[in-house]
Amino acid sequence: MYGDLIIGGAIALVVSVLGWLTIATALIPDAADASIRELGALLTVQFGIIAAMWWNQSASVSDRPADQNAPPRQSQRDANTLNGAAATFTALALIASVFAGSPWGSTASWLCALGGLLLLVMSGNDIRKAVSVSSKQRLRVREIFGLLSMATVAAAFVWHLVK
């Protein structure tokens, strides 16, 4: 249990540090508002891509186990694990989209930020299990495209911050 809390807390800490860096690198308050909205948009896209990949994998894994030597009911457990994590990341994408649309410093912005971070902290177990199941899957074109899209979006965001 504590390991799962540490995983979720570590992910929440990374997202918090990204938010802090986004605000800290802004020169004026208006730039901070625009930068934090861009971070919200980045998180919306990233969380959405992860959710889509896990929804897709859960549909394919329900027909066969991720580990071919696993017991027959394991495929349904794996699918349920991926479904739970995908649902979590769908909720995170929704929270991040509201965050991206709210002015920085508003009540809605703070509630979304705190809610998203709390959801990440509480989801360490889902994330750990889903990554384990997902890593046993053979990557298909859709997952490879999703991972490349995530890397491209992240690189564009970093380039924009540096610029």
Locate the domains of the chain by residue range: 2-162
Q: Give the count of beta carbons closer than 10 Å to the beta carbon of residue 43.
A: 23
Euclidean distance between CA atoms 48 and 99, whole angstroms: 14
The pLDDT tens digits along the chain (163 residues) read: 666 778 888 888 888 888 877 777 776 777 777 888 888 888 898 899 999 988 888 888 866 655 566 666 777 888 888 999 999 999 999 999 999 888 877 888 889 999 999 999 898 888 888 888 888 887 777 778 888 888 888 888 777 766 6
CB atoms within 10 A of CB 59: 13
Q: Is the dihedral of CA 155, 87, 114, 13 positive or negative?
A: negative
Q: Exposed e or buried b for every residue in 116-143, given b needs 16+ CB within 10 A?
A: bbebbbebbbbbbbbeebbeebeeeeeb
The predicted pLDDT at position 65 comes to 52
Residues 6+ apart with CB under 8 A from 23: 32, 35, 36, 104
Q: Among 93, 16, 106, 21, which Cα is nearest to 54's?
A: 93
pLDDT of residue 87: 93
CB atoms within 10 A of CB 108: 12
Lookup result for tokens 């800290």: 24
Q: How far apart are the first and last CA of the chain?
A: 42
